[in-house]
């Protein structure tokens, strides 16, 4: 990495890393440099997108979401499959945050610091889930995964407004709805350690979605766009998935969704 650390260039370097452990180390180094003051934002730098985005290991095998498999909580392997699926989501979320950080120049400094915070917390989530997965007799890569989250990242690479609208506040926000029932299933199955990890994830994910909401609203204001109508237009333009309940309205409220949007979910 460069010295002092050029935040966006280093984020791209971490994004290209294929080894999950090394990727989390690079993100931790960026977060440490942020705390120690040894960095620059390089917000105006023009960075070319190299081949190999995102960097990821040969395993897990990527398959259609329909082929990922059922996850029965009655067996250790079923719980391991669920924890693996969550770890895979968090690994993709690391890449998502790094891509948001490096790809879009010309944003205020706080934008880049926000997405560095997201990358750092997603890396922690991934590490926690992988450590717990090993207690269940498995490692990341042992089960297949799907690529739905990254597909929308790729679709929105040309417009930061669409990225903020359709990745953090659409796909990632689904985690706010999904985590509580998953947490309940794991706790009921006797896996309190996994349930405790999900408690951490839910708190942090509220903050991540809030970051997406804040920057989406700021970009709408900058472009003179009405947020609710613009969001509806973007979901059609980019063929975003149709959201189905039940919705965690309180977590969504904490994450910055307006009452008008929550009324639509209700």
CB 156 within 8 A of CB 238: yes
**Could you report the per-residue pLDDT of 70-93, keeping only the tens digit for each?**
778 889 999 999 999 999 999 999
In a domain, residue 101? The reply is: yes
In a domain, residue 104? The reply is: yes
Average pLDDT of every residue of the chain: 93
Q: How many domains does the chain have?
A: 1
Q: Name the nearest CA neighbour of 49 among 11, 87, 79, 85.
A: 11
pLDDT, residue 46, reads 82
In a domain, residue 54? The reply is: no
- Start-to-end C-alpha separation, the chain: 47
In a domain, residue 50? The reply is: no
pLDDT, residue 1, reads 46
**For residues 73 and 58, which has the higher predicted lDDT (pLDDT)?**
58
CB 145 within 8 A of CB 62: yes
| Mean pLDDT calculated for residue range 6-33 | 95
Q: Quick one: three-class SS letters along 3-61?
A: CCEEHHHHHHHHHHCCCHHHHHHHHHHHHHHHHHCCEECCCCCCCCCCCCCCCCCCCCC
In a domain, residue 53? The reply is: no
| Mean pLDDT calculated for residue range 33-48 | 86
Q: By percentage, how much of the chain surpasses pLDDT 90?
A: 80
CB 10 within 8 A of CB 2: yes
pLDDT, residue 254, reads 98
**Could you report the per-residue pLDDT of 162-194, keeping only the tens digit for each?**
999 999 999 999 999 999 999 999 999 999 999
In a domain, residue 151? The reply is: yes
Q: Name the nearest CA neighbour of 102 among 6, 169, 35.
A: 6
**Could you report the per-residue pLDDT of 210-232, keeping only the tens digit for each?**
999 999 999 999 999 999 999 99
Q: Would you say residue 68 has pLDDT above 80?
A: no
In a domain, residue 171? The reply is: yes
In a domain, residue 58? The reply is: no
CATH number at residue 121: 1.20.1260
pLDDT, residue 42, reads 87
| Mean pLDDT calculated for residue range 252-263 | 94
**Could you report the per-residue pLDDT of 200-215, keeping only the tens digit for each?**
999 999 999 999 999 9
Domain span at 257: 5-42+73-265
pLDDT, residue 4, reads 62
Best-predicted range by mean pLDDT (16-20, 36-40, 47-51): 16-20
């Amino acid at each position: 990495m460069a010295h002092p650390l050029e935040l966006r260039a280093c984020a791209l370097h971490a994004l290209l890393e294929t080894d999950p452990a090394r990727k989390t180390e690079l993100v931790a180094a960026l977060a440490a440099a942020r705390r120690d003051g040894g960095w620059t934002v390089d917000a105006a730098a023009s960075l070319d997108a190299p081949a190999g985005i995102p960097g990821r290991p040969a395993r897990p095998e990527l398959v259609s979401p329909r082929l990922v498999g059922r996850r029965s909580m009655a067996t250790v392997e079923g719980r391991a499959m669920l924890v693996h699926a969550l770890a895979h989501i968090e690994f993709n979320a690391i890449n998502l945050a790094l891509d948001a950080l490096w790809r879009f120049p010309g944003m205020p400094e706080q934008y880049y610091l926000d997405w560095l915070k997201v990358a750092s917390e997603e890396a922690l989530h991934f590490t926690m889930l992988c450590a717990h997965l090993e207690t269940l007799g498995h490692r990341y890569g042992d089960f297949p995964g799907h690529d739905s989250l990254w597909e929308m990242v790729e679709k929105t690479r040309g417009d930061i407004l669409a990225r903020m609208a359709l990745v953090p506040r659409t796909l990632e926000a689904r985690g706010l709805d999904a985590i509580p029932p998953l947490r309940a299933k794991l706790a009921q199955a006797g896996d309190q350690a996994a349930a405790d990890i999900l408690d951490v994830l839910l708190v942090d994910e509220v903050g991540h979605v809030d970051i997406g909401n804040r920057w989406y609203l700021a970009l709408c204001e900058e472009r003179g766009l009405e947020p609710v109508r613009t969001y509806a237009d973007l979901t059609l333009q980019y063929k975003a998935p149709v959201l189905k309940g039940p919705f965690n309205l309180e977590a969504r409220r904490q994450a910055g969704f307006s009452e008008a949007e929550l009324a639509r979910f209700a």
